[in-house]
Amino acid sequence: MVRAAVLPAVKAPLEITDIELPEPGPGRVRVALAAAGVCHSDLSLSDGTMRVPVPAVLGHEGAGTVVAVGEGVTHVAPGDGVVLNWAPSCGSCHACALGEVWLCANALNGAGAVHARRADGGGELHPGLNVAAFAEETVVPAGCVLPVPGGIPLTDAALLGCAVLTGYGAVHHSARLREGETVAVFGAGGVGLAALQAARIAGASRIVAVDVSPQKEELARRAGATDYVVASENTTREIRALTDKQGVDAAIECVGRATTIRTAWESTRRGGRTTVVGIGGKDQQVTFNALEIFHWGRTLSGCVYGNSDPARDLPVLAAHVREGWLDLGALVTERITLDGIPAAFENMIAGKGGRALVIF
């Protein structure tokens, strides 16, 4: 029996309760969590923006220690430190065949499986985004665990599973930011802060952070921002004033709102690139006219999981950590227990802080 944060129904309050996990069967791994990040995607699952079967144990960004493995699991063993991978690729669908594993058609198939049962007899539970990291322990398919690179503490490694892979990948894989270019990052939450660090690693000449909260300026500058803009109706003009009236070469949108996407687009130069990382609802409609698309020659692209391949990218990120370029601890603004997750959700809604990290 382990403690977990359960979403009983869409838009219902989270319940911190006891659950019963099965023993790991063939091809499965049991993990004792060391830490789990509270990501905006968890909030999107909670409020119905993203749909998964409920009731469910939420949490998809985590790291821990292998407790037991089922038959056929050979790449990890009990005692190994692992990062949870919430989007394991199947290796056989069309996207995987193209090498675009972040678009795997079968990555979330596990979310519909039965993961555990409530200990109070309340019935079966699903695993949220496959890994159910908001729990003291979890049982996941073998493809959902990757060995923690050497030298990375487990509590820091948790952030590699989503925020860092997404923010770093958005800058390096999607926007393809080059040394000397200018960039604006919209949203200074966990993913946005990771994107700011990634822009610094890429050698950007000007890194503009944009957020609705003036209180996040210190966080953003510590992550690598050279300039900070408090979001307003003047955001585009302020960014242009910082870039000789041209606009930035690339904009990274980490909010998922129509107005922010539109502002990010307008803040790039002619021929610039806008990468949308934030997850918005179906009601968030963004409009463009045909003439401006022709005239500005800009590129607008979506970005799933940072267009990352965790098996390929984790060693690269670990090297940046060891070299002092990537500071995982700087993304965390609050360390909490399971009971603190509902308050962390409220802080995200209010636009406060960076990443809250559940410590087990």
Per-residue pLDDT of the chain (360 residues; tens, 9 = 90+): 899 999 999 989 999 999 999 999 999 999 999 999 999 889 888 888 888 899 999 999 999 999 999 999 999 999 999 999 999 999 999 999 999 999 999 999 999 899 999 998 879 999 999 999 999 999 999 999 999 988 899 999 999 999 999 999 999 999 999 999 999 999 999 999 999 999 999 999 999 999 999 999 999 999 999 999 999 999 999 999 999 999 999 999 999 999 999 999 999 999 999 999 999 888 999 999 999 999 999 999 999 999 999 999 999 999 999 999 999 999 999 999 999 999 999 988 888 877 899 999
Query: Do 66 and 145 touch, CB atoms closer than 8 A?
Result: yes
Strands 15-20 and 28-38: unpaired
CATH of domain 167-304: 3.40.50.720
The CATH number given to 2-161+327-359 is: 3.90.180.10
Q: Residue 155: which of 81, 88, 95 has the closest Cα? A: 81
Where along the chain do its domains lie? 2-161+327-359, 167-304
For residue 346, CA distances in Å to 11, 29, 47, 254, 308 come to 13, 32, 12, 18, 29
The predicted pLDDT at position 290 comes to 96
State residue 349's pLDDT score.
Answer: 85
Q: Is 33 helix (H, G, I), strand (E, B) or coil?
A: strand
Q: Which residues contact 359 (CB under 8 A, 6 or more apart)?
A: 34, 35, 155, 335, 336, 337
Question: CA 142 to CA 92: how far, in whole Å?
Answer: 17
Give the other-Cβ count within 10 Å of 120's Cβ: 11
Count of other CB atoms within 10 angstroms of residue 121 = 6
Which residues, listed in sequence order, are joined to residue 206 by a DSSP beta bridge?
182
- What letter represents residue 97's amino acid? A
Spatial contact of 339 and 173, defined as CB atoms under 8 Å apart: no
154 Cβ contact partners less than 8 Å away, ≥ 6 residues apart: 34, 35, 63, 64, 65, 81, 148
3-state DSSP assignment of residue 196:
helix
2-161+327-359 and 167-304 share one fold: no
Sheet with 182-186: list strands edge to edge: 227-230, 206-211, 182-186, 248-253, 268-276, 299-302
Q: Classify the C-alpha dihedral 63-159-275-273 as positive or negative.
A: negative
| pTM score of the predicted model | 0.94
Nearest alpha-carbon partner for 38 in 193, 169, 191: 191
- Residue 192: name the closest of 223, 152, 213 by CA: 223
